[in-house]
Amino acid sequence: MKYNRILLKLSGESLMGNQGYGIDPVRLNSYAAQIRNVVEKGIQVGIVVGGGNIFRGLSGAAKGFDRVKGDQMGMMATVINSLALNSAFEAIGLPSKVFTAIPMFPVGYPYSKWEAIKALKDGTVAIMSCGTGSPYFTTDTGSALRAIEIEADVMLKGTRVDGVYTADPEKDPEAKKYDKITYDEMIAKNLKVMDITATALCKENNMPIYVFNMDKEGNLEKMLNGENIGTLVY
Ligand code: UDP
pLDDT in tens, 70-104: 999 999 999 999 999 999 999 999 999 999 999 99
Pocket test for ligand 1, best of 54, 59, 71 (most atoms within 8 A of CB): 71
Each residue of 23-37: pLDDT tens digit?
999 999 999 999 999
Q: Is 158 in the pocket of ligand 1 (CB under 6 A)?
A: no
Amino acid at 64: G
Whether 142 is in the pocket of ligand 1, judged by its Cβ within 6 Å, is yes
Average pLDDT over residues 195-219: 95
Q: Is the pLDDT of residue 170 over 90?
A: no
| pLDDT tens for each residue of 129-149 | 999 999 999 999 999 999 999
DSSP secondary structure string for all residues of 198-217: HHHHHHHTT--EEEEETTST
d(CA 183, CA 209): 9
The verdict on the CB of residue 52 being under 6 Å from ligand 1 is: yes
Question: Is the CB of residue 15 less than 8 Å from the CB of residue 23?
Answer: yes
Whether 60 is in the pocket of ligand 1, judged by its Cβ within 6 Å, is no
> How many whole angstroms separate alpha carbon 163 and alpha carbon 179?
8
Q: How far is the CA of 113 from the centre of ligand 1 (A)?
A: 20
Query: Quick check: 53 pLDDT over 90?
Result: yes
- Looking at the DSSP bridge assignments, the partners of residue 19 are none
Pocket test for ligand 1, best of 130, 138, 156, 195 (most atoms within 8 A of CB): 138
- Kindly give, in sequence order, each residue whose CB lies less than 8 Å from that of residue 13, ignoring residues fewer than 6 positions away: 50, 52, 53, 160
Is the model's pTM score more than 0.85? yes
Torsion-angle region of residue 151: left (phi > 0), alpha (psi -120 to 50) or beta? left
